[in-house]
Structure 1
Amino acid sequence: MSDPHDIVTIDTGYQRPRFCAAYLIVERGRAAFVDCGTNHSVPRLLAALEAQGLAPDAVDRVILTHVHLDHAGGAGALMRELPNARLVVHPRGAPHMIDPARLVASAKQVYGEEEFAASYGELVPVPESRVEAAADGHVVDLGGRPLLCADTPGHARHHLAVWDARSRSWFAGDIFGLSYRELDTARGAFAIPTTSPVQFDPAQMRASVRRMLGEAPEAVYVTHYGRVTDVQRLGADLIAQVEAMVDAARALADDPQRHRRLVEALVRLYVERAQRHGVADARRRVPELLGMDIDLNAQGLEVWLDRAEA
């Protein structure tokens, strides 16, 4: 799926249709990918490139918003196919792309050996000489089209977002939440924040969202899933939800069944907001579609809460 600004949305095939996207930006015959999915996504990315009439040697950059495996697991395998490309990644994430051993060990601990192999395959290291660490303000010049990398922590400390002035759009990774097209209504997109089980920081997330809104973007490209507009409304709603999620976590800090009750509180929060947004049958559809995300959000809140109280 392409838009007028030479931006192609690619379904990476992770988990289910329209769940995880990568993006291809084309400018004057040169190309860059933003995020890449897993090893299993590589044929889809190469097919999208071919559909634009471009060969692999036309790709100058693969830009990662962060190194979580649904965004970056296929980076090494993809780079093998792109002879001229450099991998652009946050300085905190660069070491994990050069030597992914810690990423692999952590993911296997969470998913188990069998599920890790099925979902991600064997992670391929990226040679250090091909890695470009992107501190805040780093600019990628894609055929004369500047792509600004902005340090945007909150979901992860190794997170960046990419500002494309030509389209007046952000490529947001996970910092601008999740917005699945199945929950769109006549009022537009519906979104919820996404924490991470280890590095969620609500103050940083709110600040990152406000920074993005400060550019008055026309659109945001989120990894989960696709292009969203009405950005000021969505951003304000995400900030309000982060605050409500933190309040729910604090209220349950000492509850012996904290995780279960926090999941229940988040379901209520998202269902109520979805109902106000006009989502039909929200009591069934929100837990059905967002069940995994809600559980991860609860985990992220709990890790943050334990860290804050330590």
Structure 2
Amino acid sequence: MSAEHDIHVIDTAFQRDHFDAAYLLVGNGRGAFIDCGTSHSLPNLLAAVERAGLGVDAIDWLILTHVHLDHAGGAGALMQRLPNARLLLHPRGAPHMIDPARLVAGATAVYGEAEMARSYGRIVPVAAERVVVAEDGHRLSLGGRELLCIDTPGHARHHLCVWDEASRGWFTGDTFGLSYRELDSAQGAFIVPTTSPVQFEPEALHASIDRLMAQAPEAMYLTHYGRVRDTAPLAADLHVQIDAMTAIARACDGRADRHRALVAALGELCLERARVHGCRLDDAGVLRVLGMDIELNAQGLECWLDRGRT
């Protein structure tokens, strides 16, 4: 667990090691979590509080970038353990944390009850009086540490990112894509956009990435996974890939085997880029790391294609 700039990177242990991160920020003895993983993540989150030398009563905020369950599924359970904390999130996401019934029903329809229990555990509601909505430009102070929340749609319409002036870094959720440390090379981090269902909007995502870069950030703190630097070339790479992925989706549209063709083409795009990047893993290893994301990206692109016809 890293604590540079009083930022503690916590592996939530969702799905596999170094896949899903939460962050604990500390400012003058006060703490804030940014994202929290699932209810199964609580032991790791609470251990991080202890290692940071804090008590649970010193945690003032749980900030959610968005309410997808790998980021927010454990919010209600965690809030039960944090007596003084408030939950901060996008206005569109707040109703789903106060009453998560629709969120649970939608995820259960996709994954089934057994997989929901295995991967996510119980989804617990948060009392409305403990919820604060962050409109675009919302600011808060964590023991004097200034944080700024901005609206960053593209991956989801209820997504926000958090600027930390102390580290000159953004906590990006899924807006700045996915970058797994297994795929790093001598050229640095390897990055992939995430277009997962159901609200991918390419133009909005381009604009959100540009808005993040306007702050001249020194680092991005990704949920999947950890800190990346060299933000300008990574942003340029994301823009190129978003356009390439939407072009692939359009080319596959109308085919009887659209989903299979889309998964295959997205996989080949990732493999081609990984080879150029000098990733240490062979093709099979790259696909092991990115396989689930490729599948979700295909689904998200299909939702985008179909929404364009309605």
* Range of TM-score over shorter length: over 0.9
CA apart distance, 1:117: 1.0
**Secondary structure at the residue paired with 1:197?**
coil
* Pairs aligned (count): 310
Cα displacement (A) at 1:2: 2.0
Distance (Å, rounded) in 2 between the aligned partners of 1:114 and 1:98: 24
**Residue 108 of structure 2: aligned partner:** 108
Secondary structure at the residue paired with 1:154? coil
> CA RMSD for the aligned pairs?
0.8
Q: Does 1:271 align with 2:266?
A: no
Question: Which letter does structure 2 place at the counterpart of 1:249?
Answer: A
Residue 14, structure 1, aligned to residue 14, structure 2: yes
- Once residues 182 and 281 of structure 2 are traced to their aligned partners in structure 1, the CA distance between those partners, rounded to angstroms, is 12
Distance 2:286 2:153 in 1: 27
Corresponding residue of 2:86: 86
Pair 1:146-2:143 in alignment: no
The one-letter amino acid of 2:295's match is: D
Equivalent position amino acid for 1:170 in 2:
W
Moved more, 276-285 or 94-103: 276-285
Q: Secondary structure at the match of 2:80?
A: helix
User: Hey, what does 1:157 align to over in structure 2?
Assistant: 157
Distance in 1 (CA, whole Å) between partners of 2:79 and 2:283 is 43
State the partner residue of 2:218. Answer: 218
Give 1:309 deviation, angstroms.
2.5
Q: After superposition, where does 1:35-74 map in structure 2 within 5 Å?
A: 35-74=35-74
**Residue in 1 that maps onto 2:253:** 253
Alpha-carbon shift at residue 278 of structure 1 (Å)? 0.9
**Where in structure 2 are there 5+ consecutive unaligned residues?**
none
Secondary structure at 1:157 match in 2? coil
Once the two structures are superposed, what CA deviation does each residue of 1:80-103 show, in whole Å capped at 9, x if it has no partner? 111110000100000000000001
Match of residue 293 from structure 2: 293
SS of the equivalent of 2:206 reads helix
Shift of the alpha carbon at 1:73?
0.4
2:96 alignment counterpart: 96
Partner of 1:2, secondary structure, is coil
Structure 1 residue ranges (4+ consecutive) displaced by more than 3 angstroms after TM superposition:
none
CA shift for structure 1 position 285: 2.0
- 8 Å Cα contact 1:178/1:224 also seen in 2: yes
Matching residue of 1:229 = 229
Instruction: Judge conservation of contact 1:64–1:88 (CA < 8 Å) in 2.
Output: yes
Instruction: Judge conservation of contact 1:274–1:282 (CA < 8 Å) in 2.
Output: no
Where does residue 205 of structure 2 map in the other structure?
205
Contact 2:11 2:19 in 1 (8 A): yes
Question: How far apart, in 1, do the equivalents of 2:280 and 2:53 lie?
Answer: 41
Asked whether the equivalents of residues 14 and 70 of structure 1 are also in contact (C-alpha less than 8 Å), the reply is yes
- Contact in 1 for aligned 2:183/2:281 (Cα 8 Å): no
Matched, 1:175 2:175: yes
Residue 5 of structure 1 aligns to a residue whose secondary structure is helix
Kindly state the Cα deviation for residue 280 of structure 1 after the two structures are TM-superposed. Answer: 3.1
Where do residues 185-196 of structure 1 align in structure 2 (5 Å cutoff)?
A: 185-196=185-196
Aligned to 1:28: 28
CA shift, 1:4, in A, is 2.5
Q: In the aligned structure 1, how far is the partner of 2:57 from the partner of 2:89? A: 20
Q: Distance in 1 between matches of 2:119 and 2:263?
A: 25
Quick one: which amino acid aligns to residue 52 of structure 2?
Q
Deviation at 1:282, TM superposition (A): 4.1
Conserved in 2, the CA contact under 8 Å of 1:9 and 1:22? yes
Q: Which blocks of at least 5 consecutive residues in structure 1 are unaligned?
A: none
TM (normalized to structure 1)? Answer: 0.99
User: Residues of 1 paired with 2:281 and 2:133: CA distance?
Assistant: 45
Task: Please report the TM-score for the alignment, with normalisation by the length of structure 2.
Answer: 0.99
CA distance in 2, matches of 1:153, 1:281: 32
Preserved contact between residue 267 and residue 286 of structure 1 (Cα < 8 Å)? no
The answer on whether the counterparts of 1:271 and 1:282 sit within 8 Å (CA) in structure 2 is no
Q: Is the 8 A contact 2:196 2:298 kept in 1?
A: no
Query: Is the CA contact (8 Å cut-off) linking 1:12 and 1:20 kept in structure 2?
Result: yes
For 2:160 and 2:39, how far apart are their aligned partners in 1? 22
Give the Å deviation of 1:252: 1.2
